[in-house]
């Protein structure tokens, strides 16, 4: 999936509001609003399933939209302009295979690795904002990512499943790229 999404990943990394070297609280607010518009419908869609990456043996759910909302409500963002654009209204496939959803979830989980890098760079300059969404908890995103990748490799094995997972990952990137 890394190879299938590499070009999209590079474009996204350079196009996000926090990619700016002088990123401030306004950029963080824009970043959060974009992620919220992308993640909110994804969380609802993924919650419909009980298998694959959403199965019983999956990692504990992370309420990412709630973390975004807490960051947006923080007093440090008082007076920062809100982004009121609506959430992504494109419909995710109802009959998506577990492999496709592994691909989508790969992008969501992977975004937390980038968030940890951004947290390290921005924690000082954007203080006193706690940057809850970027922080990813005390242990950081590494252990969760390793567990996710082990589960993904165990679940997505055949050529068809790998291709379907790559389609899901590419679709997830394409949806957020459309918002940049």
The CATH number that applies at residue 135 is 1.20.910.10
Taking the CB of residue 31, how many other CB atoms lie within 10 A of it?
Answer: 23
Calpha distance 90→16 (Å, rounded): 21
Regions of the chain where pLDDT drops below 50: none
Say what the pLDDT of residue 88 is.
66
Q: What is the pLDDT of residue 162?
A: 97
Instruction: Determine if the peptide bond prior to 59 is cis (ω within 30°).
Output: no
What does the pLDDT read at residue 72?
93
Residues 6 or more apart in contact with residue 106 via CB below 8 angstroms: 1, 148, 152, 165, 168, 169, 172
Helix (H, G, I), strand (E, B) or coil at 135: helix
CA distances 128 to 2, 125, 160, Å, are 35, 9, 48
pLDDT score at 92: 92
- Helix-, strand-, coil-residue percentages of the chain, each rounded to 5: 65, 0, 35
Residue 113: how many other CB atoms lie within 10 Å: 15
Segments forming the whole domain that contains residue 122? 2-79+87-177
Structural domain count of the chain: 1
């Amino acid at each position: 999936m890394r190879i299938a999404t590499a070009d999209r990943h590079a474009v996204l990394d350079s196009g996000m509001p926090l990619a700016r070297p002088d990123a401030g609280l306004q950029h963080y607010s824009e970043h959060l609003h974009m992620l919220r518009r992308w993640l909110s419908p994804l969380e609802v869609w993924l919650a419909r399933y009980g298998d694959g990456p959403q199965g019983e043996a999956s990692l504990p759910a992370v309420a990412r939209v709630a973390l975004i909302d807490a960051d947006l409500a923080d007093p440090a963002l008082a007076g920062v302009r809100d982004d009121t654009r609506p959430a992504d209204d494109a419909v995710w496939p109802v009959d998506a295979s577990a492999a496709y959803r592994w691909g989508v979830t790969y992008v969501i989980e992977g975004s937390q690795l980038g968030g940890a890098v951004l947290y390290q760079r921005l924690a000082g300059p954007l203080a006193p904002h706690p940057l809850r969404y970027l922080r990813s908890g005390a242990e950081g995103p590494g252990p969760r990512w390793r567990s996710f990748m082990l589960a993904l490799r165990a679940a997505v094995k055949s050529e068809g499943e790998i291709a379907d997972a790559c389609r899901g990952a590419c679709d997830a990137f394409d949806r957020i790229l459309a918002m940049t």
